[in-house]
Amino acid sequence: MVIISVDLGDARTGTAICDSGEILASPLGTVYERNLDLLADKLTQTAKERRAEMFVVGLPLNMDGSCGERGEKCKDFAKLLGEKSGLPVELSDERLTTVQAHNALNFTNTRGKKRHGVVDTVAAVMILENFLVKRKNR
Q: Using a cut of 0.75, tell me whether the model's pTM lies above it.
A: yes
For residues 83 and 24, give the distance between their C-alpha atoms in angstroms, rounded to a whole number.
Answer: 27
**pLDDT tens, per residue, the chain with 138 residues:** 999 999 999 999 999 999 999 999 999 999 999 999 999 999 999 999 999 999 999 998 887 888 889 899 999 999 999 999 999 999 998 866 665 655 555 555 555 555 455 778 888 998 999 999 999 987
Quick one: which of 2, 9, 5, 4 has its CA closest to 117?
Answer: 9
pLDDT of res. 138: 79
CATH number of the domain that residue 121 is part of:
3.30.420.140
Domain count, the chain: 1
pLDDT of res. 97: 61
DSSP 16: E
Quick one: which of 104, 36, 47, 101 has its CA closest to 75?
Answer: 36
User: What range defines the domain where residue 60 resides?
Assistant: 3-137
pLDDT of res. 115: 46
